[in-house]
A = this chain, B = another copy of it.
Amino acid sequence: MSVKRHYEREFVRTFFTSPTAVKGEDDSAKMIRSASQLSGMSAPDVWVPDNEDATAPSMRDEGVQNIVDVVSENGADFPGEIHPRMVWHRESPATRYQGFQHMLEIADPEKGAIQHIDGFVIPEVGDIDDWKKADEFFTIVENEYGLEEGSLSMSVIVESGEAELAMGDLREEMGKPSNNLERLFLLVDGEVDYTKDMRAMTPTGELPAWPELRHNTSRGASAAGLIAVDGPYDDIRDVEGYHERMRDNQAKGMLGIWSLTPGQVVEANTAPLPPKTGSWLLEVDNRSVELVEEDGRQVYDGDDVSLEETGDGYTLRVGSDEDELDDDELRETLLDMTAYVPSMDDIVDSMEEFEAAKEAGKGAIAMTQSTTIVIDGIEVEIRKDRMWDEATYQAAQTPITLFQDVYEHRPDQHNELAEMYGSDVVERATDVGN
């Protein structure tokens, strides 16, 4: 038994928002209409018709209508979950009431949209009592239309200090009989408004990285059986930066991220999946350089490291440090400087190997990766051992479990996954660990 999740998806990679009503277009629903037709890797795990910040205040009533129209028409075929964002503000009863009215409107079963809607996203929540106000409106909506209590999931945008603190209370509050907070699903950071709420500033206006907020969101999700999602990455052109942010998030246990464009959706759907092929990294001055494979050997072709044979050993230069090393010392030094990024195939291999060992009564086994590193034409064989025990096995399993969750819930991505990895690997990856 683990922390119980009250929803189907165990992982959400992508949270994609679209404006519900755009002024000055022939069809104000244009953006959500096109979003509703996405599929495959361009379609998000969670699609959010956004009736809050992405839509002008004067267009929001029309936005509600558009949500109903588009979702009733295309919702049945949409491959991900659908969670429209409503208006809400911890400091404005008028905004909260408006959000409630919009939910009442969208959720009317006669309009044919709610059947395809998995829940609603509530922005700008405050302390836990404010979350309960929203939850109560969900309950009333469900009751009004004869929907099962708790069947609409609730996701929140964490964009205030109060909401950050509230995440520490979720586990305790979710059990109480006077609320239905078990409906909670995603905890999504909203760094722009959070920055405003915290009154933070940077010289260039760039958003602070807020590592503590992201940690606390991930921890709150972990403790309460929810899913943590990072906020939008504004610089749409900067694909490398988006990937760096996702890598940083993954190391915090925050595996999902907001996407602003279908292009970002593709990147974010792919990023948490293990790579097709493994690779070797050389760590130089706290930067990791990927080595280039040539005939099964890993070649370094940068300028920061050089290697020379001397009469009785080697001279290794790293930046401005120079060391005289014998054979063993060289191997040892390069071993410390290298790391291996396993492929999907490698991970599956290791898991299977460990499972077999466990069956045979062993609690821990050594996993080995070996290769030939080439620097300035000199070849050095290295061999990395890592002990795997039950805990290592389970920690390594995360990307595989995520892959399996994707595979189960997103048949529309099967082709692309098979193209990416080959069908063999996909099949083994869907089987392992079960």
Contact = CB atoms under 8 A, between A and B. Distances in A.
A19 B59 CA distance: 60
Chain A: interface residue count, which band? 35 or more
Contact of A55 (B160, B340, B363, B387): B363
A203 B247 contact: yes
Contact of A302 (B303, B320, B342): B320
A252 B198 contact: yes
A390 B165 contact: no
Interface in A147-180: 160-162, 164-165, 168, 171-172
Contacts of A208: 251-252
A417 interface: no
A140 interface: no
Contacts of A162: 171, 222-223
Interface stretch (A67-75, A262-270, A291-299, A394-402): A394-402
Contacts of A389: 53
Contact of A201 (B250, B303, B336): B250
A392 interface: yes
Contact of A391 (B193, B255, B336): B193
A91 B4 CA distance: 10
A2 interface: yes
A303 B281 contact: no
- Find the residue from A195, A221, A223, A341 having the highest chain B CB count within 10 A: A223
Given A91-B2, A222-B161, A339 B204 contact: yes
A342 B205 contact: yes
A110 interface: no
Contact of A336 (B57, B196, B238, B320): B238
Contacts of A205: 342, 386, 395-396
B320 A223 contact: no
Interface string A33-58: 00000000000000000000101111
B202 A171 contact: no
Give the interface centre of A1, A251, A340 by most chain B CB atoms within 10 Å. Answer: A251
Nearest to A284: B320
A161 B220 contact: yes
Nearest to A23: B361
A161 to B, nearest CB: 4
A206 interface: yes
A174 to B, nearest CB: 12
Nearest to A55: B363
Interface in A71-123: 91-92
A215 interface: yes
Contacts of A198: 218-219, 222, 252-253
A364 to B, nearest CB: 9
A43 B341 CA distance: 37
A127 interface: yes
Nearest to A159: B391
Which 5 A-B pairs have CB atoms at the shortest separation, nearest pair first? A198-B253, A161-B222, A200-B253, A161-B223, A56-B363
Interface of A: 1-3, 11, 23, 53, 55-58, 91-92, 127, 160-162, 164-165, 168, 171-172, 192-193, 195-206, 208, 211-213, 215-216, 218-223, 234, 238, 247, 250-253, 255, 272, 281, 302-304, 320-321, 336, 339-342, 361-363, 386-387, 389-392, 394-399
21 contacts: A1-B91, A1-B92, A11-B199, A53-B391, A56-B361, A56-B363, A161-B218, A161-B220, A164-B219, A164-B223, A195-B395, A197-B222, A199-B398, A200-B252, A201-B255, A201-B398, A204-B342, A205-B395, A211-B211, A212-B215, A212-B216
